[in-house]
Structure 1
Amino acid sequence: MASSKSESATYTHGHHASVVRSHSWRTAQNSLAFLLPHLKPAMKILDVGCGPGTITVDLASRIPQGHITGLERAGSVLVEARANAARQGVSNVDFVEGDANALDFADESFDLVFCHQVLQHVGDPVGMLAEMKRVTKKGGIVAARESDYGVFVWYPELPGLKRWQELYDRVARRNGGEPNAGRTLHVWARKAGLTNVKCSCTSWCYATREEVKWWSETWIERSLSSSFATTAVDHGMARKEDLEAISQAWREWGQDQDAWISIPSAEILCVKQ
């Protein structure tokens, strides 16, 4: 039976252009490599919290006889997702607006249900995983990948970036999320009734000059203009000058020839019994 629950948490990043641009870098290969060996050509897949749909569309091309649905609470970002699919001529995909706390799908509708960097932003990750399990067929797969902000590592170790990490943690928790989701992802899965939870961990690593420039530029802007920034100021966690200093720290980091950052994410893959 579908839940009637709705989301209680606030999405920390929001959908400022700088955020959507960052999320649009994601592909099936760089974000869901742990899942790719389990794809089958005729699968029916649900991507929970698909954002601009770059992963969704990429996966669609890997299941030529199948179909993938991208679900997203923020209907505005689905305009870009649909445009992305149209640009690439991908037709075995559709995008719908909805709340993953109460999926509008019948029990056992999909062969694979996954989310990527979503559970860290919700009020009830266990309940959402239970909903994902509900709409997955027996023998199907429930999967998720979540970063862990507490173990981001970068060089050079600028004080301004440590302040960013600490402020992000405060903002995310104020919004009702769990920024260190990666380390408890497997626990949430088991609490949701998923068994045989296979765990893994992979990292995004930005080390080339092009990668460092791209990542730093997104956070130079996000530190000042995204929902993260407005929430921090509106709730007295930071002043505009603090955010300007953080933005400048990202600029300084991005200009350092030795700049490097690792962003680890935990992964779970569960076969529904």
Structure 2
Amino acid sequence: MDRKSEAATYTHGHHASVLRSHSWRTALNSAAYLLPHLTPGMKILDVGCGPGTITIDLAGYVPLGHITGLERVGDVLTQARALAKEKGVTNIDFVEGDANALDYPDGTFDVVMCHQVLQHVQDPVGILKEMKRVAKVGGIVAVRESDYGSFVWFPDVDGMEDWRSLYRKVAMANGGEPNAGRMVHAWARKAAFLVGDIKSSSSTWCYSTREEIAWWSGLWAERTVASSFAKTAIDGKFATNTELENIAEVWRKWGEQEDAWFSVLHGEVICRKEK
């Protein structure tokens, strides 16, 4: 097998502001579309698990089985392992690896899933093929991706669309596709899943309470100036430090609005491997 490695760059990096948002994710708010398909004895691979909060939650749905969280950046797995230990979850392990070349034999897992991964990679179809390879016949490949072009917010504070435009430029310069949510079903077909074996759906995250709005606006304000996003924006001459500070201030201004509301659309697929 060609041991191809990932050529794209994770736009957000693993700054504390990024991990705060990742750590908020659970099986219920980020993988509800998959839960009805799980049975207690399944063996699951979570590709791009990050700090492991979804992975650890999913372990409770397969108490007689096992789940493996795989992450390309090994440093963040220290946090994942510590959380699993804290919660007393034992049917789990975390490993470092590259989704382009999974170090598992064909047909190893009942479920192979990823969440917010394909939007950041250069070859999403190739990764889907690799996920399909390590899934068992009759097993599932499950994917959920956000779609930045479909994000909706209120009120329409001046500068928010500038942020979205800048984000798209940076993400695409890194080799990713920020509108992945609307494309993931088409990528699955290109990965040789038959139309009848692909079940598509969509779901959202919605931030509306004062606490949610303060959290969401605050982490994006910080992420804009302090994460890997900022470095790529400056190095690629997409924005200056001053322009990034201005966008961070736009996020803070939006978060101060009494009626602030934000919805993040995701595209989802359940792909059945029939052969």
The two structures have a TM-score, normalised by structure 1, of 0.98
Deviation by residue 1:97-141 (Cα, 9 ceiling, x = unmatched)? 000000000000000000000000001000000000000000000
Paired residue secondary structure (2:189): helix
| Whole-angstrom distance in 1 between the partners of 2:2 and 2:139 | 20
| Whole-angstrom distance in 2 between the partners of 1:176 and 1:159 | 28
Runs of 4+ more than 4 Å apart: none
| Whole-angstrom distance in 1 between the partners of 2:160 and 2:117 | 23
- The residue number in structure 1 matching 2:108 is 109
Matched, 1:191 2:187: no
What does residue range 7-156 of structure 1 map to in structure 2 within 5 Å? 7-156=6-155
Paired residue secondary structure (2:139): strand
Deviation at 1:94, TM superposition (A): 0.3
What residue ranges of structure 1 are gaps of 5+ in the alignment?
Answer: none
- What one-letter code is carried by the residue in structure 1 that aligns with 2:138? G
| Whole-angstrom distance in 1 between the partners of 2:2 and 2:70 | 16
- The residue number in structure 2 matching 1:269 is 270
Deviation by residue 1:133-179 (Cα, 9 ceiling, x = unmatched)? 00000000001000110111101111221111000000000000001
- The residue number in structure 1 matching 2:242 is 241
Aligned residues: 272
| Whole-angstrom distance in 1 between the partners of 2:113 and 2:22 | 16
- The residue number in structure 1 matching 2:3 is 4
Task: Answer yes or no: is the 8 Å Cα contact 1:26–1:55 preserved in 2.
Answer: yes
Task: Answer yes or no: is the 8 Å Cα contact 1:3–1:101 preserved in 2.
Answer: no
Matched, 1:164 2:157: no
Deviation at 1:253, TM superposition (A): 1.0
Deviation by residue 1:8-50 (Cα, 9 ceiling, x = unmatched)? 1011000001101111000000001000011100100000000
The two structures have a TM-score, normalised by structure 2, of 0.98
- The residue number in structure 2 matching 1:224 is 225
- What one-letter code is carried by the residue in structure 2 that aligns with 1:260? W
| Whole-angstrom distance in 1 between the partners of 2:235 and 2:192 | 38
The alignment-based identity, stated in percent, is: 64
